[in-house]
Amino acid sequence: MTYSDRYLAFMGLAPHRLPHWEHWSCPDAETYLTGIDYYEHPRLCRERLRELYPQLNLAIPESDASIPRPELDLRGQSMTTDEEGRRHVRWGDKVTGHWDWGKQFHSVEEVLAFSPLENADFTNFPIVADGKQDLRSEETIYQRYRPRWPAEWGDRAPAGEANSVGFYNTMFMWPLLTFGWELFLESCLDPRFERVMDEFAELNRRLFRAFARLPVNFVVCHDDIVNSRGPVCSPKWMHKYIFPRYEEFWGIVRAAGKEVIFMTDGRADAYADDVFACGARGIITEPYTDFKTIARQHQDCFLA
């Protein structure tokens, strides 16, 4: 059987070449490296870049239609201010945004009165992209994701391939992105918050049951449970609201033959053992993390 390098890496084995995942967001560099104007021919430019640097595994745009050039640059106007007085600078071929999640909530009481289950259609809710979907039923979720893979695959991906599906709000991100940092932290110790978290968990049960039916070998689960200095919430809080749900959700997809890769920003040292105990095969995080110590404690794990 042939195994892809990415599959071998995810499984903590020995790939022939270490896979590379690049957050590529510099159109001017693409133009310089390829000699093809990114804005005039985005597809041709990216195809040429992929020929030059195949190890980056860069995605190819579907269309070669020209795209607008950014209004902000380094030679003229490099910054703009919006109607609320907030500053923006260029980012890739667009401009930066602001962390304003939860602005529709104005008090702790509004947070504690919110029902995720009664508002389970998040299609038009101001939240991160893959959370903007209808979560009212497992079947609705399944039908949204299933067309991404060939029908003939059924519910199993080809062996040895790194086919994956991912979700940004594994558990911790739901209250953070729904209510915003301040109201989340003001509310999270109130006993009434337990009902809110229980309802978020029910949404994700539906999602992970749908994921278990998809033809993928890996499920990438994102939750920013730490920052650059370590944990945001206490171990006691995490062991009540987060880790039991990880173990439950990941058990659903692992029972269907899928492996779990966990992703978080920040310094993951404090909770790495908990993440692995819940069933993760590996962790994708940042260099603040002591990878060597984690690797010594968890044989053949995947770390990136």
What residue numbers bound the domain in which 182 lies? 108-303
152 and 78 part of one domain: no
280 and 245 part of one domain: yes
Residue 265 pLDDT exceeds 80: yes
Alpha-carbon gap, residue 208 to 253, rounded angstroms: 7
79 and 112 part of one domain: no
- The average pLDDT across 110-116 equals 98
SS3 49: helix
In a domain, 61, yes or no: no
User: Which residues are CB-neighbours of 94 under 8 A, at least 6 positions away?
Assistant: 70
Opening angle at CA 83, ends 70 and 178, nearest 5: 90
90 and 220 part of one domain: no
Domain total in the chain: 3
23 and 122 part of one domain: no
In a domain, 22, yes or no: yes
In a domain, 141, yes or no: yes
Which pLDDT score is estimated for 128?
66
Provide the mean pLDDT of the chain: 93
| Of residues 38 and 86, more confidently modeled | 38
Which pLDDT score is estimated for 132?
80
In a domain, 140, yes or no: yes
Contact between residue 88 and residue 95 where contact means Cβ atoms under 8 Å apart: yes
42 and 90 part of one domain: no
Tokens of 178: 């729904």
94 and 115 part of one domain: no
In a domain, 103, yes or no: no
Assign 7 a pLDDT band (cuts: 50, 70, 90).
very high
User: Residues for the chain: how many in total?
Assistant: 304
In a domain, 64, yes or no: no
Residue 25 pLDDT exceeds 90: no
89 and 165 part of one domain: no
- Give pLDDT tens digits for 95-112: 888 877 888 999 999 999
Which pLDDT score is estimated for 293?
96
179 and 256 part of one domain: yes
Q: How many CA atoms lie within 13 A of 238 on its CB side?
A: 19
- Give pLDDT tens digits for 205-254: 999 999 999 999 999 999 999 999 999 999 999 999 999 999 999 999 99
Which pLDDT score is estimated for 138?
98
In a domain, 66, yes or no: no
Q: What percent of the chain has pLDDT over 70?
A: 98
- The average pLDDT across 2-24 equals 87
185 and 154 part of one domain: yes
In a domain, 18, yes or no: yes
Residue 143 pLDDT exceeds 90: yes
SS3 274: helix
Opening angle at CA 94, ends 91 and 96, nearest 5: 50
- Give pLDDT tens digits for 60-95: 999 999 999 888 876 778 888 888 888 988 888 888
